[in-house]
Structure 1
Amino acid sequence: MAEMVKKATRESYGEALAELSEKYPQVVVLDADLAAATKSGVFKKACPERFIDCGIAECNMVGVAAGLAACGKIPFATSFAMFSTGRAYEQVRNSVGYPKLNVKIVGSHAGISVGEDGATHQCNEDLALMRTIPGMVVLNPADHYEMKAAVKAAIEHNGPVYIRLGRLAVNSFNNSDDYKFELGKGITLRAGKDITIVATGLMVSRALEAVKTLEEQGIDARLINIHTIKPLDRELIVKAAKETGKIITVEEHNVIGGLGDAVCDALCEEYPVPVIKIGVNDVYGHSGPAVDLLDEFGLNAAHIVEVTKKAITKRSL
């Protein structure tokens, strides 16, 4: 069994790039003057000749990445999610998405857990923005091992990919040496027949806590980890809906446009069932300690348990 670690996925991202640098010499990494924070600096230390600091100019960084991809390189354009997906959205759409270039857009410090940086940096819209770009694969890995596997999968995928990184350290749960990561495939972490909880990113570990508490209270909840928001594992979601009848989605993102909407889109077309979305309820965040903010916004195990119990007791939502 692999070692259990507590680490932010941004750290795992930097480690993965450095470890894979020799196997994939065409990989180059770009950053917008935030290499220490995004941990792309780990790759810089290993391969300084393949690292480009573009300065505080994210739109230009994406343009440079597009040019490198057109020359056969595999660029990872890295910055805070607010800047790599927000400030540079036009360049991602027109210079990367439209020509279907092999660029990997990376958004670190996403969500409420950015903490003290406040509302301007707490990007709760990145998954929604990247979902709207045709052909863009959207990844939100949940722990150390999943992030390292996702980086490798992104390198091997020929086309644009968005990878979301977290600032807050999380305990690993994918601790098996035979863990397999596959783009577009969700993972059932816990079987259950009463209700299904579908979680992504940071919230998967908190959903695991909730499922254990629910089990102690006699509720048999299924838990699905969705690391690939797009393309979504529709087959797994529909199967869960048919077998449990109700779905709760959990994400550290606006409830508009992210995992919850992706799940609703799939179920509306194939097997409509009640869906409750837990996330940021269409509001801005504010400055504060990360864990306290997550509790304030209901992004914790206790709130997941509360919502699940209410859903179980109602005939319809």
Structure 2
Amino acid sequence: MDKEIPMRDGYGKALLEMIPTNPNIMVLDADVAKSTRTSWVKDKFPTHFIDMGISEQDMVGTAAGLVLGGMLPFVSTYGVFLAGRAWDQIRTTVCYNELNVKLAGAHAGISVGSDGATHQALEDVAIMRVLPHMTVVVPCDAEETRKATHAIAKAKGPCFIRFGREAVPVVTGEDTPFVLGKARLCRAGEDVTIVANGAMVHEALGAASELEKEGLSAEVIDMHTVKPIDVPALLESIRKTGCLVTAEEHQMYCGMGSAVAECVVHHEPVPMEMVAIKDTFGESGTPDELMQAYGLDAAHIVAAARKAVARK
């Protein structure tokens, strides 16, 4: 663990693992197959791959048709274009009809880096989470992405999985359990709960180590499934620690932090701080520069945890 691998490698690997035993899988891409790792499918199983070109709306519509023909389509492109350009088709054709389409949004979050604001998906979780019947998954590393891809293939109904471009530390192993809709306890603690997903799980673990030096015991939860969110796991943790920090590579509004806040306000109000993009667009830069500039690194999680603890 802690070896750095792009999450998209886990997506591509899972597709290669599933196709031999599930001949109904069809993989659709919008002219970015090398970026999404669906080129691996194109090379090894060419009859299971369709390049739709830069035509995201048509790609989702085609996937809906494939479902009605008995196939299991995986739709793959950059998250910002999939969630944004094809939202109407996802809403009205896929979700309204509860079709078994799997949507994979690659290059998500601020860490896309030099591609800049136009390519940084910072709103995708929000606009997917709001759709009825949609499952939303944000895995934390390549291995969890692999397991999550297997899981959504078995789940019934529309699913959206998002993952970044950059190599990130692998913090899970082959034996680490993954259950759709069930949060994973990464580290037990007593003083503050840190709920994170995506690349922020590694940052949260780093923050917990720093907080330990200050005498604060942080519990870290990997909330990989944003919808349906694991309410029992969240409540069990915050009833123990009494305060909470959420950390996500997404807009502060309507993402995982908001989903957690909805749960907290309904069941167990506690002091809560949110680490996320603060109502702004991204810009170009290296991933590390952007994570620091937008307040998403471990140091900012530490600061948020201190504030949450002080409010108890």
TM-score between the two structures when normalised by the length of structure 2: 0.98
Deviation at 1:4, TM superposition (A): 5.3
| Equivalent position of 2:290 in the other structure | 293
Quote the Cα distance in structure 1 between the aligned partners of 2:106 and 2:290: 18
Letter in 1 for 2:116: G
Measured in 2, the distance between the counterparts of 1:275 and 1:314 equals 9
**Other-structure match for 2:274:** 277
Give the AA of the match of 2:108: A
* Residue matched to 1:59: 57
Deviations, residues 280-315 of structure 1 (Å, cap 9, x unaligned): 001001111111111101111111112212322334
| Separation (CA, whole Å) in 2 of partners of 1:282 and 1:181 | 32
User: Residue 195 of structure 2 aligns to which amino acid in structure 1?
Assistant: V
Corresponding letter in the other structure for 1:141: P
Looking at structure 1, the residues matched to 221 and 26 of structure 2 have their Cα atoms a distance apart, in angstroms, of 33
The answer to whether the 8 A contact 1:15-1:43 is kept is: no
The letter for the 1-side match of 2:284 is: S
Q: Which residue of 2 aligns with 1:148?
A: 146
Alpha-carbon shift at residue 274 of structure 1 (Å)? 1.8
Q: How many residues align?
A: 312
Tell me how far apart the structure 2 counterparts of residues 310 and 148 of structure 1 sit (CA, whole Å).
Answer: 35
Task: Return the alpha-carbon distance in structure 2 between the equivalents of residues 314 and 154 of structure 1.
Answer: 39
1:34 is matched with which residue? 32
2:42 matched residue in structure 1? 44
2:16 and 2:42 map into 1 onto residues whose CA distance is 8
Q: Is the 8 A contact 1:196 1:240 kept in 2?
A: yes
Match for residue 230 of structure 2? 233
Q: Which deviations, in whole Å up to 9, do the C-alpha atoms of 1:162-213 show, x marking residues without a partner?
A: 01011111111112x4322111000111111101000000100111111111
Cα distance between partner residues in 2 of 1:32 and 1:17 = 17
Tell me the secondary structure at the aligned position of residue 118 of structure 2.
Answer: coil
Task: Specify the SS of the correspondent of 1:152.
Answer: helix
AA of the residue aligned to 1:100: E
Greater than 6 Å deviation, 4+ residue runs: none
Q: 1:25 aligns with which of 23, 26, 29?
A: 23
Separation (CA, whole Å) in 2 of partners of 1:227 and 1:69: 26
List alignment gaps of at least 5 residues for structure 1.
Answer: none
CA offsets per residue over residues 239-264 of structure 1, 9 Å max, x none?
A: 11211111100000001011110001
**For the residues of structure 1 that align with 2:186 and 2:208, how far apart are their CA atoms?**
10
Percent identical across equivalent pairs?
A: 43
* Residue 301 of structure 2, aligned match among 301, 304, 307: 304
1:314 has 2:281 as partner: no
Query: For the aligned residues, what is the CA RMSD?
Result: 1.0
Deviations 1:95-146 (A, max 9, x none): 1100000100110011110111111111100000100110100000001211
**1:210-243 CA distances to partner (integer Å, 9 max, x unpaired)?**
1111112211011100110000001111111211
TM-score, normalised to structure 1's length? Answer: 0.96
Cα separation, partners in 2 of 1:159 and 1:194, compared to 1, 3 Å? same
Deviations 1:147-168 (CA, angstroms, capped at 9, x unpaired):
1110100111111100101111
